[in-house]
Amino acid sequence: MSTQEVANRLVELCRKGEYETCYKELYSPNAVSIEPNADFGPPRTEGMEAIRKKGEAWSAMIEEMHGSSVGDPVVAGNHFSCAMMVDWTMKGAGRQKMEEICVYKVEEGKIVSEQFFF
């Protein structure tokens, strides 16, 4: 897959909430996730098993999801970015809206890194 095709597919799946399918279809087994401002997990996570566990920890923090959106991807070379927004109630923290820019790197048709800015 080209970077544009990977980007389009990721956005399509995220808009449907099919994150596990994203991991299975689009990510390299050795992918790296960088999220320095996260309230859960380490700022750098390596490997799909660890990234899945980070996703589970994130999901466990959500009391109620009120809405979400994913913007169209912007592609440059082997990188792409998109804006994401979630409106949720976090356990013990109340309702909040979070907006972020997500940046991905693609090599050989697979996502090898993701980084989140919020």
How far is it, in rounded angstroms, from Cα 7 to Cα 114? 12
CATH number 1.10.167.10 given to 3-117: no
Question: How many whole angstroms separate alpha carbon 45 and alpha carbon 58?
Answer: 13
Cα distance between residue 1 and residue 5, in whole Å? 6
Residue-wise pLDDT tens digits, 17-41: 999 999 999 999 999 999 877 666 7
Contact at 8 Å (CB) between 75 and 95? no
pLDDT digits (tens, 9 = 90+) for 10-20: 999 999 999 99
User: For the chain, how big is the Rg over CA atoms in Å?
Assistant: 14
- Ranges of each domain in the chain: 3-117
